[in-house]
């Protein structure tokens, strides 16, 4: 599974990246987490508000940082 955190480096973007990396490790998932900071690449996903979360090239969150439990559910849903 490929997970991309979209964001230019704001605090919310960093929080989402950190939470995602922690949960991937905690859940022992076979996933790579990539931080995408290039605004043109972010816009190519149709994300107008960051942070964004993309799993296997599908935007699953945009414009907010989910709670840890919500993020865990999203990752588990897309891992199967």
> Tokens 């991309």 belong to which residue?
4
Which residues, 6+ apart, have CB-to-CB distance to 59 below 8 Å?
A: 45, 46, 47, 52, 53
The verdict on whether 10 is a catalytic residue reads yes
Domain 2-74 has what CATH class? alpha beta
The verdict on whether 13 is a catalytic residue reads yes
Q: Write down the catalytic residue from 3, 6, 13, 19.
A: 13
pLDDT digits (tens, 9 = 90+) for 13-46: 999 999 999 999 999 999 999 999 999 999 999 9
Q: Write down the catalytic residue from 2, 8, 9, 10.
A: 10
**CB of 31 closer than 8 Å to CB of 79:** yes
79 or 13, higher pLDDT: 13
> If pLDDT is split at 50, 70 and 90, which confidence band does 73 have?
very high
Q: So what's the pLDDT on residue 79?
A: 85
> Model-level pTM?
0.94
pLDDT digits (tens, 9 = 90+) for 56-72: 999 999 999 999 999 99
């Amino acid at each position: 599974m490929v997970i991309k955190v979209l964001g230019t480096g704001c605090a919310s973007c960093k929080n989402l990246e950190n939470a995602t990396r922690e949960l991937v490790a905690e859940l022992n998932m076979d996933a790579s987490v990539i931080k995408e900071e290039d605004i043109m690449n972010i816009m190519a996903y149709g994300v107008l508000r960051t942070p964004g979360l993309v799993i296997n090239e599908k935007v699953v969150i945009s414009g907010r940082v989910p709670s840890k439990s919500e993020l865990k559910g999203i990752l588990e849903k897309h891992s199967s």
